[in-house]
Amino acid sequence: MAIPETEGMYFSGPDIRYGSNANQSTGQTADGFLAAYNDEWGEDPAAPFWAHSYDATTLLLDAIAAASYDDGGTLVIDRAGVREYLAGVTDYAGIIGLMSCDAFGDCGSQKITVIGHPDPRDFGF
């Protein structure tokens, strides 16, 4: 199928070559997550950043667990403690690879995929 409008365009998105990476908090791999998701919903996740969301959620839950305590039957989550925990994260193993957090609380992998499309005649579905 030829799509001349795409000639010379570049497409970018997350690097989805996860291989055997496992989330260090849960042990979950990309293949394991996708199998469980398919069992529940009958399809793959629609958004390409599902692994990033999974890793971010487990990292945040770890931070909350580390910064929370029971005060007479009331759960107290120390927000400063959550921030401190995240600021100290280095080389956290996630499905997306190793993540570290910076002083601003930004955590993640900087890997992306960029695909150039020089020839509109080679575009196929």
Within-domain flag for 121: no
pLDDT of residue 123: 53
Within-domain flag for 117: no
Statement: residue 12 has pLDDT above 70: yes
Kindly report the CATH number assigned to the domain that includes residue 54.
3.40.50.2300
Q: What's the pLDDT tens digit per position in 58-112?
A: 999 999 999 999 999 999 999 999 999 999 999 999 999 999 998 887 887 777 7
Q: How many domains does the chain have?
A: 1
Q: What's the pLDDT tens digit per position in 19-72?
A: 999 999 999 999 999 999 999 999 999 988 999 999 999 999 999 999 999 999
Within-domain flag for 41: yes
Within-domain flag for 81: yes
Within-domain flag for 28: yes
Within-domain flag for 46: yes
Within-domain flag for 100: yes
Q: At 125, is the pLDDT very low, low, confident or very high (cuts 50, 70, 90)?
A: very low
Determine whether 60 is exposed, middle or buried from the number of CB atoms within 10 Å of its CB (0-12, 13-18, 19+). Answer: middle
Q: Which residue has the higher pLDDT, 115 or 42?
A: 42
